[in-house]
């Protein structure tokens, strides 16, 4: 009787810990949605979702090639249509989806026999860190992408040497959704089909046929709707696409733009594979951008790998599979990012941390089940959860300097509130529906302009990453062809920026403060010579608005164009 009561108290304590962790997550996530800062990708998702659904901008056109998969924009845009297209509204949808993720994660562990203690630990690993709170409370695809992956795993778990037609169709639809959220879903799709080979038994071919039919039908219809840019963007993977084009598998739709130019973002391009691997797996990337941001998931996956390899525990196979999948997908993302943004593994790791949470939860459950007595099992559970919370807190506190996030801990004021106040002022500058050029880098400005109904060129939202420097050895014909293709792909180079200054727009909004030094190659910047000359020769200042209470203080100037042509270049 005493043993029974002890077990009941222990189970109740586990439920209490789980509820406390969930309450903590809710409080931090809502605070993050209301206060945390932003970055170019999130700003673009918020603004473009509204543009696409409202019809202000069409995706996969020369005006906005988009460069990402379409589904996230229409899910978020539909939400914005119903509940408003502000920063907070867009973020709260991500918080809601993350709540569904947590429920799916916990239910998957429960289906595999786990109690409240391992589920609580898995939640800590999954979302209760600075990166987890920051990214899963932002208006980005992280929560959505994890959601469809967890649904797919539930469907796969339900296959027991067979797969009904309904399950096969559902899995095909979910995998198609995953691909239309993020192109890097190809790795998870391959993993899912591999699991289906085992789990579906002789029905595996039904699963494969349904998945292929749903994907090809959906993608083909969208290709007919949006045309060659959609085809190009949704088949483009760094390195892999170039190889498939050279092999003749994919059409070479834009042969000049990327091959005759280079990025100017400071991304290193090692000359040999050895140098690339040395940089990718050196301490600067692995320590500062991965370990210090994702110490808890990495520790969870490492512990699960060791436990699955050395100890016969319940669900040993699933534990090993989730741990191995975590390492494989993490490496896949990291190597794929080398030609674009090596440090972005810090953000991309959030796409796979749920696998470390699943593996860690199952490993903890296995250790508790095989412990020599209940007291030891309880000590393992309590120690693991509180150690993970302590590690997450210490790492969050030590994220400083260039490695910190614009999270609630690093924001002196509320970004959404600043955007709201700035938007109210900008409504007095120009009538809604006005199109204006924008020169600056502070993301509060485009968010406020869009809230005021003022449209800016889509390329402005991600200006530095869309800049290409032409190769020096090009003939005039090659340079002209590359420049023309850049326009078709919503890219730009010096020649295109000069055309903007000569011809584009009747209105120009310039960021005065904060003063942000721009790299030499970014000639569409407030202090760049091209912009200073153009303002002097072809524009007159109409007004200036300052927001001195913002952190940092913000101010903009509105200019009206008075002339066009080469005189704007000082010629």
Per residue in 495-508, pLDDT (tens digit) is: 999 999 999 999 99
Region 181-198: what's the mean pLDDT? 96
The single residue listed with the structure tokens 């005189």 is 567
Give me the pLDDT at residue 243, please. Answer: 67
Q: What is the pLDDT of residues 20-49, one digit of tens each?
A: 999 999 999 999 999 999 999 999 999 999
Work out the pLDDT band at 261, boundaries 50, 70, 90. confident
Report the candidate in 435, 416, 443 with the shortest Cα–Cα distance to residue 56: 435
CA distances to 101, 133, 238 from 227, rounded to whole Å, are: 34, 37, 21
Give me the pLDDT at residue 10, please. Answer: 82
The whole-chain average pLDDT of the chain stands at: 93
| Distance of alpha carbon 169 from alpha carbon 147, whole angstroms | 18
Exposed e or buried b for every residue in 547-564, given b needs 16+ CB within 10 A?
beebeeebbbbbbbbeee
- DSSP assignment of 505-569: -SEEEEEEES--PPPTT--SSTTSHHHHHHHHHHEEEEEEEEETTSSS-EEEEEEEE---SGGGG
Work out the pLDDT band at 339, boundaries 50, 70, 90. confident
DSSP structure class, residue 284: I
Region 457-474: what's the mean pLDDT? 92
pLDDT of 474 above 50: yes
| Distance of alpha carbon 191 from alpha carbon 335, whole angstroms | 17
Give me the pLDDT at residue 557, please. Answer: 97
Report the candidate in 232, 193, 218 with the shortest Cα–Cα distance to residue 62: 232
Give me the pLDDT at residue 412, please. Answer: 83
Region 379-398: what's the mean pLDDT? 94
Give me the pLDDT at residue 103, please. Answer: 98
Region 541-557: what's the mean pLDDT? 96
Give me the pLDDT at residue 117, please. Answer: 96
Q: Are 133 and 64 in contact (CB under 8 A)?
A: no
Q: What is the pLDDT of residues 207-253, one digit of tens each?
A: 999 999 999 999 999 999 999 899 888 887 766 666 667 767 667 77
Region 55-63: what's the mean pLDDT? 96
CA distances to 148, 247, 331 from 187, rounded to whole Å, are: 14, 21, 11
The single residue listed with the structure tokens 């080398």 is 338
Residues linked to residue 513 through DSSP beta bridges, in sequence order: 555
| Distance of alpha carbon 233 from alpha carbon 348, whole angstroms | 19
**Could you tell me which residue, 225 or 256, shows the higher pLDDT?**
225
Q: Are 377 and 115 in contact (CB under 8 A)?
A: no
Work out the pLDDT band at 1, boundaries 50, 70, 90. very low
Region 313-329: what's the mean pLDDT? 97
Report the candidate in 493, 465, 516, 523 with the shortest Cα–Cα distance to residue 344: 465
Q: What is the pLDDT of residues 402-456, one digit of tens each?
A: 899 999 888 888 999 999 999 999 999 999 999 999 999 999 999 999 999 999 9
Q: What is the pLDDT of residues 121-178, one digit of tens each?
A: 999 999 999 999 999 999 999 999 999 999 999 999 999 999 999 999 999 999 999 9
């Amino acid at each position: 009787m005493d043993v029974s009561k002890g077990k009941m108290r222990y189970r109740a304590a586990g439920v209490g810990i789980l509820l406390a962790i969930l309450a903590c997550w809710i409080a931090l996530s809502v605070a993050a949605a209301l206060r945390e800062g932003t970055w170019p990708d999130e700003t673009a998702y918020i603004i473009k979702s509204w543009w696409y659904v409202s019809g202000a901008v069409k995706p996969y056109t020369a005006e906005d090639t988009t460069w990402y998969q379409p589904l996230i924009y229409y899910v978020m845009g539909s939400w914005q249509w119903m509940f408003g297209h502000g920063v907070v509204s867009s973020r709260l949808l991500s918080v809601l989806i993350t709540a569904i993720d947590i429920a799916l994660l916990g239910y998957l562990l429960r289906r595999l026999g786990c109690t409240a203690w391992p589920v609580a630990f898995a939640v800590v690993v999954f979302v209760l860190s600075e990166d987890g709170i920051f990214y899963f409370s932002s208006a980005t695809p992280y929560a959505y992408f994890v959601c469809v992956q967890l649904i797919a795993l539930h469907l796969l778990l339900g296959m027991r040497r067979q797969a009904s037609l309904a399950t096969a169709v559902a899995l095909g639809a979910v995998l198609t959704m995953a691909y239309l959220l993020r192109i890097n879903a190809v790795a998870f799709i391959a993993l899912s089909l591999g699991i289906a080979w085992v789990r579906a038994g002789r029905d595996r071919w039904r699963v494969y046929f349904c998945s292929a039919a749903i994907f090809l039908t959906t993608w083909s219809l969208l290709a007919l709707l949006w045309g060659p840019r959609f085809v190009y963007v949704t088949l483009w993977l760094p390195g892999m696409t170039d190889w498939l084009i050279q092999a003749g598998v994919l059409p070479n739709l834009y042969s000049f733009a990327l091959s005759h130019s280079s990025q100017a973002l400071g991304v290193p391009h090692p000359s040999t594979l050895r140098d690339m691997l040395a940089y990718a797996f050196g301490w600067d990337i692995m320590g500062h951008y991965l370990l210090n941001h994702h110490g808890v998931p990495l520790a969870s996956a490492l512990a699960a790998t060791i436990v699955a390899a050395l100890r016969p525990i319940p669900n040993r196979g699933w534990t090993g599979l989730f741990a191995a999948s975590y390492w494989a997908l993490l490496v896949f993302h990291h190597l794929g990012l080398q030609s674009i943004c090596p440090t972005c593994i810090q953000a991309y790791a959030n796409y796979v941390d749920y696998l470390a949470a699943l593996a860690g939860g199952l490993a903890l459950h296995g250790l508790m089940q095989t412990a020599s007595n209940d007291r030891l099992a309880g000590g393992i559970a309590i120690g693991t959860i509180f150690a993970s919370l302590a590690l997450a807190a210490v790492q969050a506190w030590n994220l400083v300097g260039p490695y910190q996030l614009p999270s609630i801990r690093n924001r002196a004021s509320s970004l959404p509130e600043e955007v709201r106040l700035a938007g109210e002022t900008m409504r007095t500058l120009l009538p809604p529906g006005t199109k204006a050029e924008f020169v600056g880098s502070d993301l509060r400005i485009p968010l406020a302009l869009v809230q005021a109904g003022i449209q800016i060129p889509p390329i402005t939202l991600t200006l530095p990453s869309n800049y290409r420097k032409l190769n020096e050895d090009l003939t005039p014909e090659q340079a002209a062809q590359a420049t023309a293709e850049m326009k078709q792909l919503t890219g730009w180079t010096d020649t295109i920026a000069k055309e903007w200054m000569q011809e584009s727009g009747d209105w120009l909004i310039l960021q005065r403060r904060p003063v942000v030094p721009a790299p030499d190659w970014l000639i569409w910047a407030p202090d760049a010579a091209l912009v200073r000359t153009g303002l002097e020769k072809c524009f007159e200042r109409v007004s200036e608005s300052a927001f001195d209470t913002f952190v940092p203080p913000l101010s903009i100037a509105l200019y009206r164009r008075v002339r066009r042509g080469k005189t704007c270049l000082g010629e």
